[in-house]
Chains A and B, each alone.
Chain A
Amino acid sequence: MKITMKRMDRRLTVIGCGLAMLVLGLTPLSHATPHSKAKSADRAVDIARQARDRVERNGKQLTTSSHALFKEFAERTVALQKLIDTRQRLVKAGFLNKGEPEGDARRAHINAKILTEVGELKKVCDKRLEGLLSSLQTFDDSVANSLVDCQATRSINSNYELTLEHYLKQERTHFEQASQDGLEALEAYQNATDPKLKARLLKKYNRAKRRLVRIGQRRQLYEGRIKVADMNQKISGLIREKIRADGNEIASKYRQVMADLYNTFSKIIPVAEAGGTGSPEILANMGFSNVEELRETLDIVDGAIGKLDVVLDDMVNDVLAGLGEIRVVKDTSLASETFSIEEEMEFLNKQREAWNS
């Protein structure tokens, strides 16, 4: 009894191992089916979308971290503008004339006031700089990694298209065979006189016809998938190029703006040093070009913020517009139940024309 049990155990083990091997062996086969191939095209779009989402997510973080800086900046710019306007009015009114003691005193005072306001701008930058640079680094990293991920989408998409084309070729061979069978059955049906034989041949023809219809449906499915794959290729290509063209330079532009600001601040150092070491007269003779430069830089700051928003919006809109071009391929069902040789011949001809078109 024990021996029999042991034998049974061994057999069960062998069967179990066999089943496990079969399952393991079938796993790669299941990946080769048309259904799973459809998933591989989705994979390319998923990668491209994830890359886009990552860039967008980090872009939003960057916008948030830079928002506080630029909000304070905007407020200070208003105060600065007010001072500049007042200075111009004073110049026009002759209150800042050089060589006159009152004019020199007023000139020195308002120049110092303007520089103090620029100093407030600098304090805002000092406070927020580290946070902004850190967000920019994170944004840059996400753009670089997204770009690398997107590179793979080219191959995934074209592999998918190629595989579908291959399936389509195979289907054509099946179609030729089924079409031939259908024609032969139809001719035999026409020539037959015995009602029993006629009924049998009709059934045979209907079987061939159903087969043709099924092949036709599969062809349309493959053709539909090829269209989708082509669209996927365009979508992932679009995202790839958007990230490359626009995302790559945003962080650099932000850093350039900050570098320009600090270059402007550094130009004030000699004036500030002289003013602070007991020679306030130097403030009276100070040129005005530094402040003009600062205003130009502020315009660039505004442009940089706007640019990020525009790029991200464009990216999303372009992709959504591209997606709209995908059409769903409608399935065809069996023709009407009434039977006509002429209609059937026309059906066969149309099927053939569809293959050859």
Chain B
Amino acid sequence: MRKTIKASLKAIAAAGAISLLACQWAAAGSLYEYYASASTETLKTDTGEMGSRLAATFDQDNISARQQRIDFAEYYANLKKMVLYADKLSTYSEYGRDLRFARDNEVFKGLPAETGAKGENVQPLHRKDFVNKKFGEMKRNVEEEIETYVDLITISLDVCETLTQNDLSGFTENRKFQGRMATFKRGKEYEGYLAKRARLAERWPSLAARISSQISLWEQTSGSPDEPLINTKIAGAI
């Protein structure tokens, strides 16, 4: 019974596919026949009408605006990530010193108390061993985190720099996007980055400089989209 159903289904599917193909061939065939039989005058009139519609569809301003929008979307996504990762990376600017302090002063979280749960004395050697192991583990984990963040920031920086150095669509000049950047710079993520920017610069000066350079691109012109293009004081003086 199942086999019969399966066979029927296969037959229906095959018939469907064949009829679909046949329709396509028929359509292609009819188009071919149309060109074979249509008069030159009819074709020319038709072409003229299509040509005028094409000019409206492929309008340069329309396409440029969308290219700008895509470029900015790519730039903004990477800048946002870069700022977030830079904020997290800054936390580890003095990780070596912080960890050594924690090891030497035995201030790690979760360290076994000197007296155990049942009042047993925890051997000092065990405690020291625990501290040393914890130091080693934390150092390894932090170094892996740093490597990840540096890698991710570099990827995002490369994207941002490529887009701004070859700003073919001119998205950096767009007032709407400048307004969007201004809004981002008033947000919590950027605030977090700003608070730790000096720590980042101290430990990873090259990365910090590249990030600052990207952000400074938007500093001179950032503002609300409604602000006048020319400073009113200068305009007045002129």
The chain A residues found within 8 Å of chain B, CB to CB, are 29, 32-33, 78, 82-83, 85-86, 89-90, 93, 95, 101-102, 105-106, 108-110, 112-113, 115-116, 119, 122-123, 125-126, 129-130, 133, 136-137, 140-141, 144-145, 147-148, 151, 154-155, 158-159, 162-163, 165-166, 169-170, 244, 248, 251-252, 255-256, 258-259, 262-263, 265-266, 268-269, 271-273, 275-277, 280, 283
Which of B35, B73, B112, B113 is in CB contact (< 8 Å) with A90?
B35
Among listed B9-17, B132-140, B195-203, B209-217, interface-contacting one: B132-140
A115 to B55, CA, bound (A): 11
A280 to B70, CA, bound (A): 32
A2 to B107, CA, bound (A): 51
Contact bitstring B1-43, A, C-beta under 8 A = 1, else 0: 0000000000000000000000010011001100110101001
Judging by beta carbons under 8 Å apart, are A82 and B27 in contact? yes
B165 at the interface (CB under 8 A from A): no
Which of A85, A266, A280 is in CB contact (< 8 Å) with B28?
A85
Interfacial chain B residues near A259, Cβ < 8 Å = 67, 70-71, 74
Judging by beta carbons under 8 Å apart, are B77 and A136 in contact? yes
A136-B73, A154-B145 known; A166 and B112 CB under 8 Å?
Answer: yes
The chain B residues found within 8 Å of chain A, CB to CB, are 24, 27-28, 31-32, 35-36, 38, 40, 43-44, 46-48, 50-60, 62-64, 66-67, 69-71, 73-74, 76-77, 80-81, 84-85, 88, 109-110, 112-113, 116-117, 120, 122, 126, 130, 133-134, 137-138, 140-141, 144-145, 148-149, 152, 155, 159
Additional A-B contact list (4), CB under 8 Å, known A123-B57, A266-B64: A141-B80, A159-B137, A170-B126, A276-B51
A147-B152, A170-B116 known; A101 and B40 CB under 8 Å?
Answer: yes
Judging by beta carbons under 8 Å apart, are A275 and B55 in contact? yes
Give chain B nearest CB distance to A58 CB in angstroms: 13
Judging by beta carbons under 8 Å apart, are A108 and B44 in contact? yes
Judging by beta carbons under 8 Å apart, are B55 and A162 in contact? no
Interfacial chain B residues near A273, Cβ < 8 Å = 55, 58, 60
Judging by beta carbons under 8 Å apart, are A154 and B144 in contact? yes
Judging by beta carbons under 8 Å apart, are A262 and B117 in contact? no
Which of A82, A115, A137, A170 is in CB contact (< 8 Å) with B73?
A137
A89 to B148, CA, bound (A): 55
10 smallest A-B Cβ distances: which pairs? Answer: A276-B55, A275-B51, A272-B58, A119-B57, A272-B54, A112-B50, A154-B141, A105-B43, A158-B137, A105-B40
Judging by beta carbons under 8 Å apart, are B31 and A162 in contact? no
Which applies to chain A's interface (DSSP): helix, strand, loop or mixed? helix
Judging by beta carbons under 8 Å apart, are A162 and B134 in contact? yes
Judging by beta carbons under 8 Å apart, are B57 and A122 in contact? yes
A244 to B81, CA, bound (A): 12
Which of B40, B120, B141 is in CB contact (< 8 Å) with A158?
B141
A155-B141, A262-B66 known; A82 and B126 CB under 8 Å?
Answer: no
Can you list 28 pairs linking A and B with CB atoms under 8 Å apart?
A82-B24, A105-B47, A106-B38, A115-B50, A116-B50, A119-B57, A122-B63, A140-B77, A148-B88, A151-B149, A154-B141, A154-B144, A158-B141, A163-B110, A166-B112, A169-B126, A252-B74, A252-B77, A255-B73, A263-B67, A266-B60, A266-B63, A269-B60, A272-B55, A272-B58, A275-B47, A276-B52, A280-B51
Judging by beta carbons under 8 Å apart, are B31 and A269 in contact? no
Judging by beta carbons under 8 Å apart, are A105 and B54 in contact? no
A106-B43, A162-B134 known; A137 and B77 CB under 8 Å?
Answer: yes
